[in-house]
Amino acid sequence: MVFQIAVGSTELTPKVPAFPSLWMGGYGWSPRGSSPGNVARELKAHCMVIWDDGYPNVLLRADLISIPRDMNQWIRGTLIDEGLLSDTDFMMVSSHTHSGPLVGDIRPNPYILMGLNQADIDAVNGTTNVLIDRLLDLVRATLNKTRTTVTFRYAEASVNIGYNRVEHQTYVMNTVPILVARKANNNRVAILFGAGSHPVSRGNDTTFDCDYPGRAAAQIEASLGVPAMFFQGTCGDQNANEPRGNAQVINLGDKLANAVITKINANTGFTNVTGPIMTRIEEVQLPFAVDTSNPTVVANLRSRYAARLTQFPTDDVNYRHAKVMVDMIDGPGLPTHIAMPIQRWQFNGLTILALAHEVLSGFHVRLKAAYPGKLWIMGYANEVEAYIAPDDVLWNGGYEAGFEWPDNTIAGGGSFAEVYAWPAPLKASPVGVTPAVAGSAEKIIMDCCLDLLNNP
């Protein structure tokens, strides 16, 4: 079965005066912003529309640190309201470059992350609105472009560009998924590819850069002559190899590009991917380790966060997070869960499973083991507002777990739970108990994923 596709792109690099803010996302705990013209490689967004039996399936990727929940809902809702697509047929993925603009004002919280004041946060929101408009315009324009009839073929390559940064975790993501669109004459039209490693190879400086994913895409395009679109994997615990700097962006980007180019030129190991495309999206609610709907629990948290206000200076991240928590408790109330959209596009010959948030590689391992078919697992999909760790990470604490071991009843200092303005870490199974038990975050996620993989 053949498809029709259209591909478009647009630039997202913040530039004055169009963008009100040059504040950057990806690192804390002090203010970090770029300056006009300080750009190593342009940030881009790409859109592919796959027409399956006349119906559009829209795949949008962007060189952004994250997509907040309200941004996802606004873009998705606007396109649905305009009658351009249905909810399940729209997928949006961020590359997670740490050298791009700060996006949104809720999660991550700019005040907690960098101590920004309200005027700075207003500017961040202004830039976010420009990004939203550009992404919406890109989708609209791509939907109206001339369609090309293609077939898809899928294969996987391998390359080492990163390492597992979490103590006691050894799995390293080396798989490189590759999906190639070709015309009937075998000429390539577009390439989708992925990897699983935090785009931090540039390091913590003030230069805008799409990092290794953008460098790889540019090299693939230059070599093979067609658009190349990068999609990030479940790399919440995977860092790009060191050292840091511009040379490493080039080094790792070229390594990834060469793996893709070599595989495509060899033309071995590819299998056909045909329609129809069966799409579904579900949203699960992940519980915290403590019940924040319980007034006694909330009172205890307020007391402990109020104590932090006296223990840390006002410019410390622990103070800033505690202040936000106390303000939440005294105002609208604490959240009772973390929402997590999980999406599936199932072709004949390939399933794409797209997970929201910064999912750790343990889920990649578990899902690959549980599903016998060809499976491309993407992270940072649709929205990014938390780290999602499996039980064996949650048992030990740390940044990705959201708490300082052994106290999992409150957000840990300098952990993701502070960055993303959550009151506590996620709920784990009892220590040492496998498989994950009912009610744990891991069990909820795995059950949803397996249902999506095994049912229409």
Q: For 215-265, how does the pLDDT look when each residue is reduced to its tens digit (9 = 90+)?
A: 999 999 999 999 999 999 999 999 999 999 999 999 999 999 999 999 999
**Which residue, 180, 171, 147, 158, is CA-closest to 350?**
180
CB atoms within 10 A of CB 139: 26
Q: Is 300 exposed, middle or buried (0-12, 13-18, 19+ CB in 10 A)?
A: middle
Note the pLDDT tens digit of each residue in 100-159: 999 999 999 999 999 999 999 999 999 999 999 999 999 999 999 999 999 999 999 999
Looking at this protein, which amino acid is placed at residue 333?
Answer: G
- d(CA 278, CA 299) in angstroms, rounded, equals 46
* Residues in Cβ contact with 336 at an 8 Å cutoff, skipping those fewer than 6 apart: 287, 288, 291, 292, 293
Q: What's the pLDDT tens digit per position in 366-396?
A: 999 999 999 999 999 999 999 999 999 999 9
Rounded mean pLDDT, 354-368: 98
pLDDT tens for 65-78 read 999 999 999 999 99
Whether the CA torsion 29, 33, 38, 39 is positive or negative: it is positive
Strand 3-11 to 44-52 pairing? antiparallel
pLDDT band, very low/low/confident/very high, at 447 (cuts 50, 70, 90):
very high
Alpha carbon distance, N-terminus to C-terminus of the chain = 19
Which residues have C-beta within 8 Å of that of residue 375, sequence separation ≥ 6? 350, 351, 353, 367, 368, 453
Residue 29: pLDDT over 80: yes
| Mean pLDDT across 397-406 | 97
pTM (two decimals): 0.98
pLDDT for 145 equals: 98
Whole-angstrom CA distances from 169 to 10, 360, 413, 428, 436 are: 38, 10, 21, 17, 18
CA separation for the pair 158, 396 (Å, rounded): 30
The dihedral of CA 391, 392, 395, 398: what is its sign? Answer: negative
Q: Tokens 């050292």, residue?
A: 243
On average, the pLDDT of the chain sits at 98
Confidence (pLDDT) at 317: 98
**Backbone dihedral region of 150: left (phi > 0), alpha (psi from -120 to 50 degrees) or beta?**
beta
Phi, psi of 369 (to 5 degrees): -70, -30
For residue 16, give both structure tokens: 């004055």
Nearest to 214 by CA among 245, 252, 244: 252
Read off the amino acid at residue 37.
G
Supply the pLDDT for residue 2.
Answer: 85
